[in-house]
Each structure stands twice: as structure tokens, then as C-alpha cells.
Chain A
């Protein structure tokens, strides 16, 4: 009897591990920033470099930080979704133009549309390091207290907006 049970148990154990392995996403590293204050920065705006923007300025508002760059292929895929989302005006969307040439960034926005209330420049990637950015695009959601409540790695899809972002934003808008 044992002769049959041991291979069966082994099979089940291996099958379960392999099945779990299929669902793992090694590219999505859990952010240690979750439920912590948004990392501070003071960065020049892309369209008006003499003006600066800091997360402090957005206290009391629910806002998104979307990390993008004109060299980033997945950002192009994500862009129409952001444009659509911006139309709904559910939350403020700030763009972090990551390691990009400002001119290329500006022409990207003028040709593809600008979903951002403001974009700030991070030319040498230092703000990116503070936010733990490792794969563009990335999107963070901050509550009214300036706490990071959600992080999405990779391009945001229409489904993500409907199923995750909008419900979360609605919930955060209701919080003090």
C-alpha cells in the first residue's frame, strides 16, 4: 500500500508547488513603501522647470504618481489608459518623468496627450531610487495623509483601472 501512497504524495506535492510557481510573478517585488509616507522630493516641473513640485504640496488630496519615460515601450501601451482615467478626474495624477530627455518627454506629451496634472523631472534617477523604482512604468497611489497605499508595477490596463484603481481612489476620497 505504501508503495502507491508515497509516489502519490510526492506527485501531489510537486504538482501543488509547480501550480503555485505558475502564478508567481517574480517581476513584481512587494514594495516596502506600502503604508509608509511618500518619499519626499522637490523636483522641477517638466513644462515649467523654474517651478518645483513636492509631495508636501499634495497633502489633503488623493493622488497618483505615475513613473514614465519617452524611451519606455510599455508606457506607450499604458498611455491611452491614463488619458482615459484622467478624463474621469477621480484623483490628481502626477507624472515622474524618469531618466528622460525633457524635450523628448514634452514632445511625447504633445503627441500622445497629457493625462498628468503635472509632470516632474527626475533626470538622474535619484527620486526613482527613493521610491524603489526598478521597472518603468510604475504607479503609486497616495491617500490624503500622503501615505503610499498601493503600488502597481508595469503598465496599468483598463481592467486595473476599473477593478483596482477607481475603487481604491473612491475609498481613499472618503477617508479624512
Chain B
């Protein structure tokens, strides 16, 4: 009689999925709620959003976002509320300013370095490819190469 076991486990997994059930009456507002909590960093487990995290602080912050939306606060006001308390670090999408410049421009700089290296190597290759030897040199090269292959065959 093991039929009930998978069912019981399944029931458990369904329960584990619902972290909390904040429901706003307006579907648009509900969407805003979900987008906000998926853009705020949980400061306890720093690589998770507060939507993903089960930490107590994340639950408190979800409640805070929910209540602020209920009070009719806008997304910007909620972002402002959070950054005033936790700094830009709380935002997964930090604003572009002097302090976060490296964060935003860094990848672009690396991409440009990559391109520069690519271009330099390509140019070098081309140069190497277009060197023109005079007839004497070409003759010598041919001789050297054929000597080499002959040696190779012997050994």
C-alpha cells in the first residue's frame, strides 16, 4: 500500500511553493507587486530576490511592498523607500550614476577590449600573409621545405 506516499509528497511540494499569498484586487497592481518583488534583492541571501527568498527579512519586505501598494504608492516611491534604507544594493536594476558607472559600463569596456584585440590580431595576420618575397628568397624557401620533407621521410 504505497500509493498514498507519492500523493502525500506531492501535496507537500504544492504547499512548499506558496510562500505567502498577498493578493491585490486589481490585476495590474498585482503585476506591479510581482515585478517589484522580483527586482528587489534579499539582503540576507544576497543572490536571491525577495520574491525567491524564504528569509524572514524577505517576507517582511514583501509585506512592506504589498502594504505600500495598497496605500496607492507608486513603483518609484517604493524603490525610493527601499534605497533610502538599504542603499542601491537592494535594487537588482541599480540606477546609472557615478558610483554604479563601472557596473554598467564595465561589460561594454570589456567588449571593446575584446574587439580591439581581435582587430589587432587580424591586422597582424593580414600583414604576415601579404609579405612578398623576391624570387631568390622563394627559391630558398622551396628548397628548405623540400629538404625538410625528405628528411622527414628518411627518419
Contact = CB atoms under 8 A, between A and B. Distances in A.
B87 A29 contact: yes
Contacts of A130: 85
A90 interface: no
Interface of B, secondary structure class, is helix
Interface string A19-59: 00000001101111100000000000000000000000000
B56 A134 contact: no
Among A27, A30, A32, the most chain B Cβ lie within 10 Å of the Cβ of: A32
Interface residues of A, number: 19
A33 B86 CA distance: 8
Contacts of B89: 29
A16 interface: no
Contacts of B15: none
A130 B61 CA distance: 11
A125 interface: yes
A130 B82 CA distance: 9
Interface in B66-120: 83-87, 89
A27 B45 CA distance: 9
A135 interface: yes
B87 A31 contact: yes
A129 B67 CA distance: 13
A135 B46 CA distance: 12
Given A32-B83, A33-B85, A134 B60 contact: no
Interface of B: 43-44, 46, 56-57, 60-61, 64, 83-87, 89
Q: Which 3 A-B pairs have the closest CB atoms?
A: A134-B43, A132-B85, A32-B87
